[in-house]
Amino acid sequence: MNITVIGAGYVGLVTGTCFAELGNRVTCVDVNKQKVANLKNGIMPIYEPGLEPMVVSNVAAGRLHFVSALQEQSEQPQVIFIAVGTPSDADGAADMQYVLSAARNIGAYINNYCVIVDKSTVPVGVADQVKAIIQEELAKRGLDIKFDVVSNPEFLREGAAIDDFMRPDRIIIGDASEKSKAIMLELYTPIMRSRERIYFMNVKDAEMTKYVANAMLATKISFMNEMAVLCERLGVDVENVRLGIGSDARIGNAFIYPGCGYGGSCFPKDVKALMKMAEKHGVEPLVLRAVEERNAQQKQVLHRKITKIFGEDLSGKTIGVWGLSFKPGTDDMREASSLVLIENLIARNARVQAYDPVAMPIAKDMLPSEWFSSGKLHLAEHQYEALQAADALVLVTEWKPFCYPDLTAMKKLMRRHIILDGRNQYDPKQIRDAEFEYYGIGREVVY
């Protein structure tokens, strides 16, 4: 099948590359000409395990192409995916300017029937806007071309996106006609032969499903983080509580791991957008507000623990930080808990030495240059370099290389032997037996 994907960001690039891997002819369109040039040369704009070799091999095979405008394609597509960003605007609502701009470009381009697929996360009703804009642009050209607009939300986890695409647990399709349904089935059958897990519904239902799914997962995280705070006050180990409730099939083990807050490009943005949708239609988003507030509070937990140990003024203190990305498997630092921690530490006059396996280039571009030039923040070349003369280690992101630290080497490197475990990755007894002070999330605390 001949497919066009508008947007070569995280969702668009993974989607286009995976469809090309399945034998389709795919053209990814992105207005960023430098990104397009880089992709043609195998230079990735993001870190995603397994993506780079898949892009390179499909470009070499002639199945995957990159252009900066729809008109640069050699053939008219049968399916066009809209996979552009939908960031939060000033009031928290989803910003639709890139989606609607893509719709205008489609209307100015297509010459035959095709299926337009909203892959971007969009508020309920945006598919109708996309359809109206395309019709308007076609009318300007004096054309009466049939097309369908379909909602097909993505459920890709950063760090596991290729596996999620190739082995999905479900595919949601909000379809407009029997013709578009047949085309979408043909497109997805190679990766979902069990068709009972392809769910067809109307377009608005599909648009809503994406938001509700992310909000539900964020709710589980925030609820468990709130319970962790209570457990800490009561002298209860939240990890035992997690095991106890996770064994209940009605609850399950996913997304009930206490930590220092969620981040990334999806959960924070989508919770805010769903709140705005609720408010716009006269519904008080009481639960969603609580989810967002608890997450904001949870991102303050680690630096508050540090000030309880060392005092409010951290002058002369050096804090080692392991992990900058919002989760393992990605270099994405958007809304990451590390940002809140480092900002608070530097504001209290601490020196921060940080390390992340893949997010260091992003950190260099994202964080204030003054922090680097003043020596307030140093990005270490190795995880143990971040501990040189450190008064404490803070684990923020549970990357695999951090799972089994060399405690003997750490004792020689660190000035004080203190570990703050923002993801409850370590066994408190093992850490304390090695003569370190240990502070987790929702675990027994001895200050």
Active site residues: 266
d(CA 116, CA 130): 9
Tokens of 172: 């949601």
Tokens of 228: 């962790």
d(CA 155, CA 214): 9
Nearby residues of 297 by Cβ (< 8 Å), 6 or more positions away: none
d(CA 174, CA 198): 11
d(CA 394, CA 110): 53
Q: Which of 319, 371, 357, 356 lies closest to 341 in space, CA to CA? A: 319
CA distances from 240 to 5, 147, 228, 243, 247 (A): 46, 54, 11, 5, 11
d(CA 8, CA 32): 9
Tell me how many degrees the CA angle 32-36-41 measures, rounded to the nearest 5. 150
CA distances from 56 to 17, 39, 40, 228, 316 (A): 9, 8, 8, 45, 48
Chain mean position to CA 439? 27
d(CA 117, CA 281): 26
